[in-house]
């Protein structure tokens, strides 16, 4: 019951994530983002609604970034909550992502 | 000072104790030095003696002077009496002349006055003169040989006519000393002239009077007092003038003066007054000497006492040092035989403490022991071997390892005690052994205990503090016995405290008083960490004169354990559990609960990924720290990788390492146990380490 939701804004190709992102929702997260990457060159991942994100979620973000890069497409993060910012910092991933403010 | 050998102490060495080496002589060698005290006494004594002697001398001199003055006045009175006798003789002659008239005068004078003239009489010469106008005539004369010429005599006669009293003149003539007395009847012009001879030895007849008995004297007629005026004396002339203590009396002697100078012949005030200064001097010096001797003796005795005290003290120090070393050895042996580190038993907290008795070398035989075995089981023992000393410690070791062996064989507590009851015998061992043995399951909290003559353990949980009621069997060592088990449940959060009797026993106090005190001591401290609880309990319970040793073992079943079936949803479930635990209890300030939740999620995720089927999670809080414990049954061992930015996993432990203050990992019979610790600020504001 990790209240995780994905909402995709087709026009702007923004994937809105909300709730808790852990190992239980990695598959769902990956499917949603891959779907966006299939149809757009650039995809924004909006983390504004994320209340929890752990190393499983980070692993998925790394996987999706790598896939986008392989397809010469871009994946960027917007509205990164402070806690996730901290995790990116701790794990040294902060500069490997394209992080934007909305 | 005495010779050191006299005071060399002998030590009565008790057989049970190691012989003491002969102490080196503590006494310092005898010294011949002057004690300040002795000097002070000597000075004071001499000064007091001198003062007493001087004042006695002064008093004696004053007395002497007073007595001499008194006697001199008496002697002077005698002389004055003699003088008046002479005047009276002359006066009588004049009265007779006045009565008989001028015509018969000379004859009557010659007849009447003759009795006063002669070598042994008052005078040696006498004459009667008549003065009319400027004419001076001698009208009668008695005696063979006048010392003075007629002209000289006439001059004195004329002088006598001018005065109211007798003219007195001292005359040296032809080796003789004469005193001339001349008295005039001025109305009739009759004048009597008499010469008195002072004997060659100058002794005066008056000095036969008692007033002169104690005096040497010299009389002087006229002034100044000296050889030219010397009249009479009782000392040889070459001894004059009189020296030393003298007194003078000056008295009128006709128209002249007579000076009496007197000196005591001997001490006037008597022998006692005279000898008193000497008595004081000798007595004072003798007393001073005696005081010095006494002081020296006292000082010497005190120094010897000080030396003896030092000797005795050093002996005691040596004995203490020996006993201390022995006691230290026993205590180290005792502690060496106790478990050094409590076993890490999953699911239970454990705290133990041993305190040696306060005094003597009588180390006791108290012990505790805890074992974890199987997946979920633990066992504990607290025991007490009767007696004290090294034999008791050895017997304790035997009891401890025997019970432990039976427990590790899988025996129930009652079976362990029963088997031991066959192995211990007071007849051969000399000791009784009491013990409480417990075996428990940390998942269910079910504990089985058996008791061989040991104090009842204390159980605190679910808001109640009381003693575990159980059948108590005989101690080990009194023969074969069987023991009845008792079972109770250690509910989550509850604490079991087993101990030896030293904790509750105090002198002159019933055992139930100590048990009540234990309940009252533990109850308000249950919120403390287990180790602190045990330490404070011992500190509070231990009597001020505690001589018995104390062993305490406490087991607590933490209240938060929760078992999850492993699956993708487990991290989220574990997060909710941890959040709930933190919300229900006071979290130390300075600890971020979202960090704890994150770490719990990471640890549980790791366990699930490692293939665990169940994951147990516990949250432990105390005043300044929070611990999250995650245990699983997965065979894997966590690895971490933070260098590979493209890695999809392995960041969990990096996050744990970064967010938690520290973390540790321990193997379990199946799987592992990971503990992450978060430090808050202790109440005084400092961050705990």
Chain A: closest CA distance from residue B659 (Å): 9
Q: Which two tokens stand for residue B64?
A: 């002497």
Is B598:A54 a contact under the CB 8 Å cutoff?
yes
At residue B70, the pLDDT reads: 87
**Smallest Cα–Cα separation from B476: which of B369, B363, B398?**
B398
Among A18-32, A65-79, B1-15, B144-158, name the one with the lowest average pLDDT: B1-15
* Nearest chain B residue (CA) to A60: B648
The torsion angle over the Cα atoms of residues B306, B308, B312 and B313, rounded to 10 degrees, is: 20
Is B533:B403 a contact under the CB 8 Å cutoff?
no
CA A52 centroid distance within chain: 13
At residue B524, the pLDDT reads: 85
Looking up tokens 């992450």 gives B676
| A82 in reach of chain B (CB within 8 A) | no
Q: Is residue B603 within a helix (H) or strand (E), and if so which, with residue range?
A: helix B593-609
Of B605, B642, B658, the CB nearest to A56: B605
Give chain B positions within 8 Å (CB) of A90: 654-655, 658-659
Q: How many CB pairs under 8 A join A and B?
A: 67
Q: Is the peptide bond before B654 cis (omega within 30 degrees of 0)?
A: no
The torsion angle over the Cα atoms of residues B500, B504, B505 and B509, rounded to 10 degrees, is: -160
Q: Which two tokens stand for residue B443?
A: 């998942």
| A62 in reach of chain B (CB within 8 A) | yes
| A1 in reach of chain B (CB within 8 A) | yes
Best residue in A25, A27, A51, A56 for a mutation probing chain B (most B CBs within 10 Å): A56
Which residues, 6 or more positions from B125, have their beta carbon under 8 angstroms from its beta carbon? B117, B142, B143, B145, B146, B147, B193, B194, B195
Is B148:B173 a contact under the CB 8 Å cutoff?
yes
Is B233:B218 a contact under the CB 8 Å cutoff?
yes
E-strand spans in B321-456? Answer: 349-355, 364-373, 377-388, 433-441, 446-452
At residue B273, the pLDDT reads: 79
At residue B646, the pLDDT reads: 57
Q: Which two tokens stand for residue B447?
A: 């504990």
Give chain B positions within 8 Å (CB) of A66: 646
Mean pLDDT throughout A17-46?
90
| A22 in reach of chain B (CB within 8 A) | yes
Pairing of strands B486-489, B446-452: antiparallel
Give chain A positions within 8 Å (CB) of B600: none
Q: Which two tokens stand for residue B281?
A: 């001097």
B174: left (phi over 0), alpha (psi -120 to 50) or beta: left
| B608 in reach of chain A (CB within 8 A) | yes
Burial environment of residue B244 by CB neighbours within 10 A (0 to 12, 13 to 18, 19 or more): exposed
Contact A23 B652 (CB under 8 A): no
| A8 in reach of chain B (CB within 8 A) | no
At residue B688, the pLDDT reads: 41
Alpha carbons B689 and B584: distance in angstroms, whole number = 25
Q: Which residues of chain B have pLDDT under 50?
A: 1-27, 29, 685-689
At residue A39, the pLDDT reads: 86
Which string of DSSP letters, residue by residue, matches B322-347?
HHHHHHHHHHHHHHHHS-SS----TT
At residue B644, the pLDDT reads: 58
DSSP 8-state assignment for residue A40:
-
Specify the pTM: 0.42
| B571 in reach of chain A (CB within 8 A) | yes
Of A22, A60, A83, the CB nearest to B572: A22
Is B665:B672 a contact under the CB 8 Å cutoff?
yes
ipTM of the complex, rounded to two decimals? 0.90
pLDDT beyond 80 at A62: yes
At residue B404, the pLDDT reads: 92
| B658 in reach of chain A (CB within 8 A) | yes
* Nearest chain B residue (CA) to A27: B568
Pairing of strands B167-173, B176-185: antiparallel
Looking up tokens 């205590």 gives B331
């Amino acid at each position: 019951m990790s209240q995780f939701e994905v909402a995709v804004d087709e026009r702007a190709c923004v994937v809105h994530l909300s709730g808790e992102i852990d190992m239980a929702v990695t598959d769902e997260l990956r499917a949603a983002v891959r779907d966006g990457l299939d149809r757009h060159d650039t995809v924004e991942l909006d983390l504004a609604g994320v209340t929890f994100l752990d190393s499983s979620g980070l692993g998925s973000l790394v996987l999706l970034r790598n896939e986008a890069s392989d397809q010469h497409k871009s994946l960027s993060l917007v509205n990164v909550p402070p806690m996730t910012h901290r995790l990116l910092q701790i794990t040294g991933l902060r500069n490997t992502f394209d992080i934007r403010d909305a | 000072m005495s010779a050191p050998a006299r005071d060399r102490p002998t030590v009565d060495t008790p057989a049970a104790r190691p012989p003491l080496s002969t102490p080196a002589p503590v006494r310092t060698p005898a010294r011949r030095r002057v004690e300040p005290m002795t000097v002070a006494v000597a000075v004071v004594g001499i000064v007091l003696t001198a003062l007493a002697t001087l004042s006695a001398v002064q008093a004696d001199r004053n007395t002497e002077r007073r007595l001499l003055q008194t006697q001199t006045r008496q002697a002077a009175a005698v002389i004055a009496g003699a003088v008046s006798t002479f005047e009276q003789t002359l006066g009588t002659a004049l009265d007779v002349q006045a009565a008989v008239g001028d015509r018969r005068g000379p004859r009557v004078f010659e007849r009447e006055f003759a009795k006063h003239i002669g070598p042994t009489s008052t005078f040696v010469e006498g004459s009667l003169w008549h003065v009319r106008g400027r004419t001076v005539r001698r009208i009668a004369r008695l005696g063979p040989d006048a010392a003075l010429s007629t002209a000289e005599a006439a001059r004195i006669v004329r002088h006598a006519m001018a005065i109211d009293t007798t003219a007195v003149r001292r005359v040296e003539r032809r080796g003789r000393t004469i005193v001339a007395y001349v008295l005039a009847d001025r109305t009739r012009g009759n004048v009597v002239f008499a010469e008195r001879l002072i004997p060659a030895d100058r002794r005066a007849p008056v000095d036969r009077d008692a007033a002169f008995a104690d005096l040497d004297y010299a009389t002087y007629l006229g002034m100044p007092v000296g050889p030219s005026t010397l009249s009479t004396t009782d000392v040889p002339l070459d001894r004059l003038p009189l020296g030393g203590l003298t007194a003078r009396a000056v008295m009128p002697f006709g128209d002249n003066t007579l000076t009496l100078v007197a000196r005591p012949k001997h001490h006037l005030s008597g022998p006692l007054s005279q000898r008193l200064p000497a008595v004081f001097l000798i007595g004072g010096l003798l007393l001073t000497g005696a005081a010095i001797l006494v002081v020296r003796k006292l000082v010497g005795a005190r120094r010897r006492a000080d030396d003896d005290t030092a000797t005795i003290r050093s002996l005691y120090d040596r004995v203490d040092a020996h006993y201390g070393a022995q006691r230290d050895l026993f205590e180290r042996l005792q502690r060496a035989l106790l478990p050094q580190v409590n076993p890490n038993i999953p699911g239970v907290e454990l705290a133990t403490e041993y305190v040696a008795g306060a005094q003597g070398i009588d180390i006791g035989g108290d012990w505790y022991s805890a074992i974890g075995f199987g997946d979920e089981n633990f066992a504990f023992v607290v025991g007490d071997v009767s007696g004290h000393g090294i034999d008791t410690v050895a017997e304790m070791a035997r009891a401890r390892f025997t019970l432990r062996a039976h427990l590790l064989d899988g025996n129930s507590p009652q079976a362990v005690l029963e088997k031991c009851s066959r192995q211990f015998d007071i007849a051969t061992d000399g000791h009784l052994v009491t013990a409480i043995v417990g075996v428990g399951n940390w998942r269910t909290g079910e504990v089985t205990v058996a008791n061989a003559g040991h104090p009842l353990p204390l159980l605190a949980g679910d808001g109640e503090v009381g003693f575990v009621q159980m059948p108590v069997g005989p101690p080990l060592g009194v023969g074969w016995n069987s023991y009845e088990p008792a079972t109770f449940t250690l509910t989550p959060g509850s604490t079991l405290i087993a101990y030896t009797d030293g904790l509750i026993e105090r002198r002159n106090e019933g055992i139930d008083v100590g048990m009540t005190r234990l309940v009252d001591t533990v109850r308000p401290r249950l919120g403390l960490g287990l180790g602190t609880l045990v330490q404070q309990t011992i500190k509070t319970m231990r009597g001020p004169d505690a001589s018995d040793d104390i062993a305490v073992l406490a087991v607590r079943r933490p209240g938060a354990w929760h078992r999850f079936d492993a699956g993708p949803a487990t991290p989220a479930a574990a997060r909710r559990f941890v959040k709930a635990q933190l919300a229900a209890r006071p979290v130390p300030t300075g600890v971020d609960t979202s960090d704890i939740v994150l770490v719990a999620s990471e640890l549980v995720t790791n366990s699930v990924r490692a293939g665990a089927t169940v994951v147990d999670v516990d949250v432990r809080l105390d005043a300044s720290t929070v611990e999250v414990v995650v245990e699983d049954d997965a065979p894997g061992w966590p690895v971490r990788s933070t260098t590979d930015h493209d890695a999809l996993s392995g960041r969990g432990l990096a996050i744990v390492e970064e967010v938690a203050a520290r973390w540790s990992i321990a193997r379990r019979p199946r799987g592992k146990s990971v503990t992450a610790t978060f430090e808050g600020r202790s109440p005084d504001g400092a961050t705990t380490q």
